[in-house]
Amino acid sequence: MNSFLKLTLSCLIAAILLVSCGKKDAPAEQQESEKHEHTEQKATVELTHDQYRMAGIELGTVEMKNLGSVIKVNGILDVPPQNLVSVSPRIGGYIRSTPLLQGLRVRKGQTLAVVEHQDVATLHQEFLETRSRLEFAAAEFKRQEELQKENINAVKTFQQTTADYKSLQSRFAALTQRLALIGVNGEKLRDNDVSAKYTITSPIDGYVGAVNVTLGQFVSPSDVVCRIINTSHIHAELTVFERDAPKLRVGQRVRFTLANETEERTAKVYLIGREITQERTVRVHAHLDNEDRQLLPNTALKALLELGEQSVPAVPEAALVSADGKEYIFIAAEDEHEHHHDNGEKHEESKEKGEKEEKHLTFQMVEVKRGAAAGGFMEIMLPENFNRTATKIVVKGAYSLLAKIKSSEGGDEHGH
């Protein structure tokens, strides 16, 4: 009897333990299922169009960048010497009129200022008198030359006439050049054209830079009236440290951004300086791939000078988010889908009333591996079969999407 009771008690205890184990296993499997389901849910996030705009999200693509073999340099925008002209008066005088304003666009030959001085009138007078005397001297020289051929006049007389004629020729040529310097064509100057004024004209097309004169001011040939800048061939002038000079080659690619700009521009190394400055640097001259006449000389820039040609997939650093020790980017779904607040008969009824259906945008988290960083970009290792050129990614506002996912994790809602 005692043996029967012991056997019965043992079976009962085994049954209880079996039931107890079954109850523990079920919640564990359910918990694992819920965890897996939650992981699937947090891989995507949905936004309405209003939420999309409020989050300031911007889309782009994964670009190919050379981030590994580059050096960081500083520099400025500059123009060739022939495109930067300091304008000075050829003859000193007083400024009587000028249309100059800083930033004014001017054409070659356009009047920049009118200068007045008595020396200008004197120059006109000397030129006209010399021209008249030269005409008489030319006729006298020709007459004496004919007499000399017939041995009628003395040799000394012919020699003196020749000397006077050549002297007047030289003086006339010099006065012609002086008039040309102030923009006066001596051949067109007439006896009644004597004036104390002349115009200063622009030697090139461009824009007026610094203006250094006012009306009534006296200016001498050593004074700079204004500067004219032609920005049609603006280039990047880079400063490279001496230790990096051996790495430089003509044709290397340069990526740079200007002060207060985020847009990246490109250029190519055109000339490399052959002199080390006192600051132990080398000047590098780079031509812009796309010239922009709106750029201003002396604008500061920061550049990445690529030493090699190996490019890697890269995204702006703002496109990467960190979660649970891993790195992610967000990709945009190819299509938009509609969410309706009502379903069944209520949904059909709302459509009949013309209520607007709310469209949602879907973004999916994709795990990536990060690599080298330079110039605000980060190299990433993409999953297999990732279409780099066709897939739109979030390049700005990625942390807003991550925050929405985190907020969904903390609540009971099943929306993304």
Tell me yes or no: is domain 84-117+196-230 CATH 2.40.50.100.
yes
User: What are the boundaries of each domain within the chain?
Assistant: 42-65+312-344+357-409, 70-79+231-306, 84-117+196-230, 118-194
| Cα–Cα distance measured from residue 301 to residue 264, given in angstroms and rounded to the nearest whole number | 11
Tell me yes or no: is domain 118-194 CATH 1.10.287.
yes
CA nearest to 263, candidates 237, 218, 294: 294
pLDDT the model gives residue 357: 53
| Cα–Cα distance measured from residue 77 to residue 283, given in angstroms and rounded to the nearest whole number | 12
307 exposed, middle or buried (CB, 10 Å; 0-12, 13-18, 19+)?
A: middle
Centroid of chain to Cα 347: 53
| Cα–Cα distance measured from residue 320 to residue 324, given in angstroms and rounded to the nearest whole number | 13
Cβ atoms of residues 229 and 79 within 8 Å: yes
145 contacts: CB under 8 Å, gap ≥ 6 = 158
Q: What is the architecture of the domain spanning 42-65+312-344+357-409?
A: Beta Barrel (2.40)
Centroid of chain to Cα 171: 54
Cβ atoms of residues 199 and 97 within 8 Å: no
- Note the CATH number of domain 70-79+231-306: 2.40.30.170
| pLDDT tens track for 140-158 | 888 888 887 877 777 888 8
pLDDT the model gives residue 3: 52
| Cα–Cα distance measured from residue 177 to residue 124, given in angstroms and rounded to the nearest whole number | 12
Residues of the chain below pLDDT 50: 1, 5, 7-8, 11, 16-26, 28-42, 335-356, 412-416
Token digits for 56?
């300031």
Token digits for 100?
């100059």
CA nearest to 173, candidates 126, 141, 221: 126
What does pTM read for this prediction?
0.54
| Cα–Cα distance measured from residue 5 to residue 17, given in angstroms and rounded to the nearest whole number | 18
